[in-house]
A and B are shown apart, each in its own frame.
Chain A
Amino acid sequence: MLRLEGVALHQGEFRLTADWALQPGDRVAVIGPSGAGKSTLLLAIAGFLALARGRLTWLGQDLAPLSPGDRPVSILFQDHNLFPHLTLAQNLGLGLSPRLRLTPAEAARIDAALDRVGLPGMGARKPGTLSGGQQSRAALARTLLRARPILLLDEPFAALGPALKADMLGLVTEIAAETGALVLMVTHDPADARRFADRTIVVSEGIAAQPQPTDALFLNPPQALREYLGP
């Protein structure tokens, strides 16, 4: 399991604490006001921000000494999830081998991953020639290839329209089910959380709260979430 024990994150004046655990296969939403620290929490798990205090473990292994690329984590950012100068096949290939020395078997896996996310035969295309939704699909295909047990989504679909976003969440749900990954997804939208996540973490006023069952949470929201959601 992913365990945060007495974790404190400091970034300038900003402070955030977290103390909870999540199971493999969980689908978890992270919700809260802008600037509350949702992205910061994900960046710390991904290894871009050192802990000020506490311990971060996965299946009992301390993650602190591991660099971002060595953690059992795939992360999708708000933007810049693909290198614009590389083809889709190369972008996906980086998920298998950072030196891009690919065997024929690996090339076949890349093609299969593109098929799986609905981009068949588009391996030679550059990201700039794709729509926003297609770019998201390609980035998801890379997480499929990397097959890391934790998938972190830092609002990668925020720029997509509602219908496309729903498509992408459906695709993430399927992929997570296939790979058994633990998914943590930052969102502004309570509807996303209800549709996608079994459990939800509310981030507000310097605390990333205990994960709660999503439906129960929204039926009877705590004070912080009530303020965020409005009347």
Chain B
Amino acid sequence: MARRAGTVSWPGVAVAAALCLLTLGTLGAVLARAGGASLTLADWSAVRFTVLQAAVSALLSVGLAVPVARALARRRFAGRGLLIALMGAPFLLPVIVAVLGLLAVFGRQGMLNDALQALGLPVVSVYGFHGVVLAHVFFNLPLAVRMILSGWQDIPAERFRLAAALGLGPGAVFRHLEWPMLRAVLPGAMVAVFLICLTSFAVALTLGGGPRATTVELAIYQALRFEFNLGRAALLAALQFALCAVAVLAAGWLVLPGAFGGGMDRPVQRWNADGPLARLMDAGVIAAAAVFLLLPPGMVVARGLPGLSDLPAGLWAAAARSVLVAVLSTALCLVAALALGVAIVRGRWSRTLEAAGMLPLAASSLVLGTGLLLILHPVITPQRLALPVTALVNAALALPFALRLLLPALRDIETAHGRLADALGLTGLARLRWLVVPRLRPVLGFAAGVVAALSMGDLGVIALFADQGAATLPLLVQRLMGAYRMEAAAAAALVLVALSFGIFWCLDRWGRHAAS
């Protein structure tokens, strides 16, 4: 007999059921509708492009992250902590803002082409396959660096000391210490990046397009938005779900490394990496990574600041809509994650419930959106529900991330204080109010900040549903870019970044100000 089997926590079960209904129900709606349609050659090329760009993005992001992580692991310099903290920022940076920044550097009138022209060299285009991969590397390089860096710092310092005592050269250190760690960490990091790039929509929408650079997500959008071909969109959505499901199942075999752990401020003490060449290489790698990651957002700031005095019409209304969507989806996501997390930690069926919580990983913004559109279309004009649907989809898609952040903390609380709470008969809402929420507050604040910032910057399902009147801020930026009003777009992007990071900062700060 184990300890008392625990009671069933019904709110958590209800959340799990709702998640199944949302992901599998929309999939059902999609499959029912997809029956008659058939795939064209263009659709297959979208599948090929999606998988190829995700694979290349994953390889490049992780491959380039290795030298950066190694340099950061073994060097101390002023601003090192800040740089590592900044590595967490692209995850929260709205995609459309990053694209705008990349265009300012690599675009037709960007810095790079200006320089090439001045030298009399031919200009390069950022659109197409390499543009999509470039943007994905921009987003995922820092994520991969953080994962690999935490792997580096998990190698006990004593082993490096032993290697130095034995007089091992750099080659031997790599073979005996670093390669085993990399072999354990790299596959997980690669799958994580691959998964993220598989559902890429906003990057493909802005930098891809055309028959040679269309992701499945983008193809779904085009089928719905321009052709209003529900059958074809449904078929593509089914295909996208299958792609993601296969990748998620593959990821389930691997342990995904963490990227949000603490303790990354500590450099690894090394005794044999201080040759002048190694120093120079590390300095170059760090400088290159910093420039690559800081220059695009810096350009958005530089180009956006002058436009702040003359903000485009409708900006504040769009900003208000974005904040509303972010607040709604954050509240929804965290209440659901909390209910589900408590049920997983305390009650029965915890494995099933946890699997239900991970289900949205196999869904994507456009698949959920298509399913909801198919379900809503006969009943109501979908455009009228653009904001609630966006909030719902954002909440569902962010739930696995929130759950992964909350679960370890919930388990700690249960281990340390669960028995006392049981002994005092502290159950239900009272337990939540007097035990769980106060103890969880730092993690809850951070998770809420992440979810809110992701939702603020989301450019996915909203593009599908919103008509001219109901744009959110990222959609407004995208439309301004489409109209080649780059200065106005940069100014709006600046407001968007300020709001995203502001909302993250507020929520994280609320969490950190927890009573001791």
B379 proximal to A (CB < 8 A): no
A81-B420, A100-B434 are known contacts. Are A52 and B516 too (CB-CB below 8 A)?
Answer: no
Question: In the bound complex, how far is the Cα of B417 from the Cα of A84, in angstroms?
Answer: 10
A121 proximal to B (CB < 8 A): no
Does A46 contact B3, Cβ atoms closer than 8 Å? no
Residues of A within 8 A of B419 (CB): 48, 68, 77, 80
Does A50 contact B426, Cβ atoms closer than 8 Å? no
Mark interface residues in A73-98 (1 if CB within 8 Å of B CB, else 0).
Answer: 11101001111111000100011001
A33 proximal to B (CB < 8 A): no
A126 proximal to B (CB < 8 A): yes
Question: In the bound complex, how far is the Cα of B515 from the Cα of A90, in angstroms?
Answer: 14
A195 proximal to B (CB < 8 A): no
Question: In the bound complex, how far is the Cα of B425 from the Cα of A66, in angstroms?
Answer: 11
Of the four ranges (under 10, 10 to 19, 20 to 34, 35 or more), the interface on chain B belongs to 20 to 34
A69 proximal to B (CB < 8 A): yes
Does A77 contact B516, Cβ atoms closer than 8 Å? no
A83-B434, A85-B514, A94-B434 are known contacts. Are A10 and B1 too (CB-CB below 8 A)?
Answer: yes
Mark interface residues in B480-516 (1 if CB within 8 Å of A CB, else 0).
Answer: 0000000000000000000000000000000000111
Residues of B within 8 A of A207 (CB): none
Mark interface residues in B224-253 (1 if CB within 8 Å of A CB, else 0).
Answer: 000000000000000000000000000000
Does B426 contact A94, Cβ atoms closer than 8 Å? yes
Does A11 contact B1, Cβ atoms closer than 8 Å? yes
Min CB distance B99 to A, Å, is 43
Does A69 contact B422, Cβ atoms closer than 8 Å? yes
A67 proximal to B (CB < 8 A): yes
A85-B438, A85-B439, A128-B516 are known contacts. Are A46 and B423 too (CB-CB below 8 A)?
Answer: yes
Does B516 contact A68, Cβ atoms closer than 8 Å? no
B166 proximal to A (CB < 8 A): no
A85-B516, A94-B426, A126-B516 are known contacts. Are A77 and B1 too (CB-CB below 8 A)?
Answer: no
Residues of B within 8 A of A47 (CB): 4, 422
Does A80 contact B416, Cβ atoms closer than 8 Å? yes
**Set B3, B4, B417, B430: member contacting A83, Cβ < 8 A:** B417
A10-B1, A49-B3 are known contacts. Are A69 and B427 too (CB-CB below 8 A)?
Answer: yes
Question: In the bound complex, how far is the Cα of B164 from the Cα of A122, in angstroms?
Answer: 56
A48-B4, A98-B430 are known contacts. Are A67 and B425 too (CB-CB below 8 A)?
Answer: yes
Min CB distance A157 to B, Å, is 16
A49-B1, A49-B4, A85-B439 are known contacts. Are A69 and B420 too (CB-CB below 8 A)?
Answer: no
Residues of A within 8 A of B335 (CB): none
Mark interface residues in B404-435 (1 if CB within 8 Å of A CB, else 0).
Answer: 00000000000011011011111100110011
Number of interface residues of A (CB under 8 A): 32
Q: Return the chain B residue nearest A101 by Cβ.
A: B430
Min CB distance A81 to B, Å, is 6
A10-B1, A48-B419, A83-B435 are known contacts. Are A69 and B425 too (CB-CB below 8 A)?
Answer: yes
Question: In the bound complex, how far is the Cα of B431 from the Cα of A67, in angstroms?
Answer: 15
Does B516 contact A67, Cβ atoms closer than 8 Å? no
**Set B3, B425, B439, B515: member contacting A48, Cβ < 8 A:** B3
A70 proximal to B (CB < 8 A): yes
Does B426 contact A98, Cβ atoms closer than 8 Å? yes
Q: Return the chain B residue nearest A69 by Cβ.
A: B425
A52-B1, A128-B516 are known contacts. Are A75 and B423 too (CB-CB below 8 A)?
Answer: yes
Min CB distance B423 to A, Å, is 5
Q: Return the chain A residue nearest B425 by Cβ.
A: A69
A48-B419, A67-B422 are known contacts. Are A86 and B434 too (CB-CB below 8 A)?
Answer: yes
A49-B4, A83-B435 are known contacts. Are A98 and B422 too (CB-CB below 8 A)?
Answer: no
Residues of A within 8 A of B3 (CB): 48-49
Most buried by B among A9, A11, A69, A128: A69
A46-B423, A48-B4, A67-B425 are known contacts. Are A100 and B417 too (CB-CB below 8 A)?
Answer: no
Min CB distance B367 to A, Å, is 41
Mark interface residues in B435-461 (1 if CB within 8 Å of A CB, else 0).
Answer: 100110000000000000000000000
Mark interface residues in B167-199 (1 if CB within 8 Å of A CB, else 0).
Answer: 000000000000000000000000000000000
Min CB distance A105 to B, Å, is 20
Does A77 contact B424, Cβ atoms closer than 8 Å? no
Does B423 contact A68, Cβ atoms closer than 8 Å? yes
| Ranked 9 nearest A-B pairs via Cβ | A69-B425, A68-B422, A85-B438, A99-B430, A10-B1, A98-B430, A98-B426, A68-B423, A94-B424
A-B contact pairs, 12 of them (CB 8 A): A11-B1, A49-B3, A67-B4, A68-B419, A69-B422, A69-B426, A69-B427, A74-B423, A83-B420, A83-B434, A98-B431, A100-B434
Residues of B within 8 A of A (CB): 1-5, 416-417, 419-420, 422-427, 430-431, 434-435, 438-439, 514-516
Other than A47-B4, A50-B5, A69-B426, give 4 A-B pairs with Cβ distance below 8 A: A69-B424, A75-B423, A95-B424, A98-B430
